[in-house]
Amino acid sequence: MEQHRQFVAAQANIFKALGHPSRLLMVEALRHHEKCVCELQSLVGDDMSTVSKHLSILRQAGVVSAERRGNNIYYRLTLSCLDAFLSCTSRMVENRILSLSRILDKN
């Protein structure tokens, strides 16, 4: 039973890592191909130290990995099942927005 709790806690850590809009935005961008940290900083618009903290959380959760090339660090998505999960949640959010829009248009 304790081992199962540890397993679930580790899974929850992945969801916590994804639970910030800036981190989710970075993960969305990494679905397509790897990016250097400067591209991710530009994408989210935060200062470099904040972006580095976000990326550290994603790395610790096993969501992304990093590789240094010269002066740049490149990140890639390592949790491949996230692509399907994010596609699924995007469709669900889009459907909710469309449904809400239809309800508001009727009023």
Is 101 contained in some domain?
Answer: no
Percent of the chain with pLDDT strictly greater than 90: 73
Is 103 contained in some domain?
Answer: no
If you ran DSSP here, which 8-state letter would residue 35 be given?
A: E
* Residue 82, C-beta contacts closer than 8 angstroms, at least 6 positions apart: 18, 27, 31, 63
Domain carrying residue 71:
2-79
Is 106 contained in some domain?
Answer: no
Amino acid at 34: E
Is 50 contained in some domain?
Answer: yes
Specify the CATH number for the domain of residue 61.
1.10.10.10
Cα separation, 28 vs 63, whole angstroms: 12
Is 97 contained in some domain?
Answer: no
Domain count, the chain: 1
Predicted confidence (pLDDT) at residue 75 exceeds the cutoff of 70: yes
- Per-residue pLDDT of 1-53, as tens digits, reads 899 999 999 999 999 999 999 999 999 999 989 999 999 999 999 999 999 99
pLDDT band at 107 (very low <50, low <70, confident <90, very high): low
Q: Which of 6, 46, 30 is nearest to 86 (CA)?
A: 30
What pLDDT was estimated at residue 71?
93
